[in-house]
Amino acid sequence: MGRFVKTVIAVAMLSMCLSAENTAKTTIGGYGEIHLNGFVPDTGKIRAPKFDFHRFVLTVNRNFTEKWSFFSEVEIEHNYVEGNKASGYLILEQAYLRWQISGSHDLRFGIILQPQGLLNERHEPATFSSVERPEYHRLILPSTWFGAGIAMGTNLLDSDLRCELFISEGLNDRKFGDKGQGIREARQKGYNSSLDNVMATVRTDYTGFKGVKVGTSIAVNETVLDNDTSSAVRHIYQRAVIGELHAEYRYGGLTSLIEFGSIHYEKLAARGGKLTHTQGLLVEAAYDVLKGRNGSSISLSPFVRYSRLNTSGVLSSDDAFDRIDGGIALKPHSQIVIKADFGREYYNDSKRNMNYVNLGAGYDF
């Protein structure tokens, strides 16, 4: 594994050299974030805080011609990777060829981000308020979510309307509900992905009003091959339908957003499937108190966020829980952010209530 990491770094360094020779053709970028996380349950038994360089990401991009390009993203999570031991991991999150068919139409094929929600396709640290990504984007629409497939996009109405179709590897239905995390553990991540499950996703976004982005997506995950019915490997669910709505509004220093996601599971008869729904709601508002003051480029944005989540049912059921987060994000530069926040989860069983205190910093380039 160490040799592979060295190879990745060598490729990135070579790309930097190429960029210096011809910046119009090859570019390198990346982002990273470092976190200090504290956990305090209501039972009073304080857990030891954790310090973690959560993500280190490098991107290498190549424009071959005006119509053909390549994009890649390699990520190391949790700083340390070693085979056959508990550690972080090294993963290729994006690697695709892009064909710009015309000014309005494009085709991509390779390892591609799933086009659902506000965060998954644009998840650099400076693009969201909290230290950690919102729980909605961990438990409902799991970020980062990517897979092998073919995507086609088109821009309509003078580019105010964006439509996308993504045909990809599916989620492994046998892992729905694993670790109490809905579909998160079912992602195949482009690793020898089995096509006994396939997925089709359609997304639309409208940006025709100033400061407004509103959209929706729907994905259908289908079991298309069910030949092996031995108890250890047999499929459990025929399909999962994943729908979501999202909206974002920016005006002056204000940024507000709302997201709602719902997953409906259809079980195969007599296979033991227990899930019927996964649902989540997120509402957030942030305000840059330094916006427009004396021409300053520094941003200071307090935020508050409310979430209601249920990985194994609907939001109205007793096993749903609420989470409230609040904090502040300082951007001394548009590509650097320093954050602090506090979060609290509320369950019907108060013994499960949990408090979170987080500090972090991130960058992108």
Residue 9 phi, psi (nearest 5): -65, -40
Is 60 exceeded by the pLDDT of residue 5? no
Geometric angle at alpha carbon 331, from 330 and 337, rounded to 5°: 85
With tokens 């090294």, the residue in question is 90
For residue 2, pLDDT over 80 is answered with no
Question: Is residue 239 within 8 Å of 222, Cβ to Cβ?
Answer: yes
Residue 14 in this model has a pLDDT that exceeds 60: no
pLDDT digits (tens, 9 = 90+) for 149-166: 999 999 999 999 999 999
To the nearest whole percent, how much of the chain has pLDDT over 90? 82
15-29, 126-140, 147-161, 211-225, range with the lowest pLDDT: 15-29
The two three-digit tokens of residue 239, written as one number: 């399909």
pLDDT of residue 46: 80
| Extents of the domains making up the chain | 2-364
- Residue 96: its pLDDT value, please? 98
Question: Has residue 327 got a pLDDT over 80?
Answer: yes
Q: Is the pLDDT at 20 greater than 50, yes or no? A: no
| Per-residue pLDDT reduced to its tens digit, 35-74 | 999 998 887 778 899 999 999 999 999 999 999 999 999 9
Residue count (the chain):
365
**Model pLDDT, residue 38:** 95
pLDDT at position 237 is: 97
pLDDT value at position 21? Answer: 46
DSSP state letters, 331-362: EEETTEEEEEEEEEEE-SSGGG-EEEEEEEEE
**Residue 233 pLDDT class (50, 70, 90 cuts):** confident
Confidence grade of residue 12 (pLDDT, cut at 50, 70, 90): low
> Average of pLDDT values for 124-131?
96
Of 225, 252, 223, the closest CA to residue 238 belongs to 223
From the list 230, 229, 206, the residue with the least C-alpha distance to 216 is: 206
Q: What is the pLDDT of residue 19?
A: 47
Span 119-140, average pLDDT: 97
- The rounded distance, in Å, linking the Cα atoms of 132 and 360 is 8
Given this model, what pLDDT does residue 10 score?
A: 53
Segment 322-332 shows an average pLDDT of 98
The CATH number, out of the four listed (3.30.465.10, 2.40.160.10, 2.40.50.1040, 3.20.20.70), of the domain defined by the range 2-364: 2.40.160.10
Q: Which residues pair with 198 in a beta bridge?
A: 169, 222
Contact 72, 61 (CB under 8 A): yes
In whole numbers, what is the pLDDT of the chain averaged over residues?
92
Residue 227 reports pLDDT greater than 90: no
How many CA atoms, within 13 angstroms, populate the side-chain half-sphere of residue 14?
A: 7
Q: How far apart are CA 330 and CA 122, in angstroms?
A: 19
Q: Quick check: helix, strand or coil at residue 173?
A: helix
Q: Is the pLDDT score of 173 beyond 90?
A: yes
d(C-alpha 81, C-alpha 88), whole Å: 5
Flag whether pLDDT at 17 surpasses 70.
no
pLDDT band at 276 (very low <50, low <70, confident <90, very high): very high
Q: Compute the average pLDDT of residues 81-86.
A: 80
pLDDT given at position 265: 98
What would the pLDDT profile of 238-266 be if each residue is shown by its tens digit? 999 999 999 999 999 999 999 999 999 99
